[in-house]
């Protein structure tokens, strides 16, 4: 794991997630939180600041006096709109990954978003963890695909997954072929991004084993919801074997699982409308 972390640290072409991402999402979920603090947190990420300013000054929202600072933009957009923008922005970063798994940007984005929504719903349903933390972990769970696309050639991953001899769990195949899998690569990348350790753990264990930390098993369940519906499904298909135990461990019933699938699909459709990405396929 240390060797993998070192290899990922040496990559210079990886997109960056601000270390203030988690506090920013938490602030946006807190109606008592001041707009100044939110503005300062957004300002730590130049790319996000630019998007927020562009949105605040778009034809839809522009006034005679343009928003010239991030705080002014925050005041104009409001927390609900800002949260959508922030989540879409970071999900798009994660969606840069997955080429080796045969995923285009839209499919990767959909998989990330579906996992986030499902994780937050499971957390709310079970009360086992904070929904916003589970949302973030679900959103970022496959970020290791981004790291592996850069560490290896995506073609190498594609060749492995397309092979007729490639039977068994996709995680085991990756580990056997490359010495590590995308969950482990994700944990290492999350460390590089200085994300909280509980998120690194959940990302690293989103395909098992069970971890008694409240978050990891929920993220495994969220992954089961997303892949069952085919959201973010690539060449790895449904070749994962840890989901049943995770669903049982958090107390999800068959009816819960089906309801989660339907509600997650509905949320994905709404998000696609907001982002003008067409409709989920």
Residues that bind other proteins (CB under 8 A): 102, 107, 161-162, 164, 169, 224, 227-231, 233-235, 237-245, 247-248, 253-255, 257-258, 261-262, 265, 279-281
Would you say 125 or 130 has its CB closer to other proteins?
A: 125
135 and 120 Cβ atoms separated by less than 8 Å: yes
SS3 208: strand
Would you say 78 or 244 has its CB closer to other proteins?
A: 244
CB of 232 to other proteins, least distance (A): 8
Would you say 18 or 220 has its CB closer to other proteins?
A: 220
Would you say 164 or 276 has its CB closer to other proteins?
A: 164
CB of 158 to other proteins, least distance (A): 9
CB of 93 to other proteins, least distance (A): 22
What is the spatial distance between Cα 61 and Cα 76, in angstroms, rounded to a whole number? 8
What is the spatial distance between Cα 250 and Cα 261, in angstroms, rounded to a whole number? 16
Containing 41, the helix (H) or strand (E) segment is: helix 35-43
Nearest-CA neighbor of 202 among 187, 223, 182, 189? 187
CB of 36 to other proteins, least distance (A): 42
CB of 41 to other proteins, least distance (A): 35
Q: What is the C-alpha R_g of the chain?
A: 19
210's tokens: 């069970």
Would you say 52 or 231 has its CB closer to other proteins?
A: 231
Nearest-CA neighbor of 218 among 133, 121, 125, 119? 119
């Amino acid at each position: 794991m240390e060797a993998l972390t070192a290899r990922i640290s040496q990559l210079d072409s990886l997109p960056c997630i601000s270390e203030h991402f988690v506090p920013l999402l938490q602030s946006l979920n807190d109606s008592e939180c001041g707009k100044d603090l939110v503005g300062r947190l957004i300002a730590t990420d130049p790319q996000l600041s630019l998007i927020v300013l562009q949105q605040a000054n778009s034809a839809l929202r522009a006034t005679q006096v343009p928003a010239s600072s991030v705080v002014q933009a925050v005041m104009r957009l409001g927390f609900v709109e800002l949260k959508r923008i922030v989540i879409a922005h970071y999900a798009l970063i994660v969606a840069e990954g997955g080429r080796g798994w045969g995923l285009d940007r839209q499919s990767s984005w959909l998989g990330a978003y579906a996992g986030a929504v499902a994780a937050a719903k499971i957390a709310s349903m079970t009360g086992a963890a904070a929904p916003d933390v589970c949302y973030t972990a679900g959103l970022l769970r496959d970020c290791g695909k981004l790291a592996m696309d850069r560490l290896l050639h995506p073609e190498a991953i594609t060749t492995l997954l397309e092979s007729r001899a490639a039977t068994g769990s996709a995680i085991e195949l990756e580990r056997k072929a490359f010495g590590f899998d995308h969950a482990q690569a994700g944990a290492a990348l999350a460390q590089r991004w200085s994300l909280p350790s509980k998120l690194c753990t959940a990302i690293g264990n989103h395909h098992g084993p069970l971890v008694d930390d409240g978050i990891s098993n929920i993220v495994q369940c969220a992954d089961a919801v997303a892949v069952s519906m085919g959201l973010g499904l690539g060449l790895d298909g449904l070749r994962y074997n840890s989901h049943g135990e995770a669903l049982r461990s958090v107390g999800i019933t068959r009816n819960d699982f089906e309801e989660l699938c339907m509600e997650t699909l509905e949320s994905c459709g709404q998000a696609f409308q907001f982002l003008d990405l067409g409709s989920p396929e």
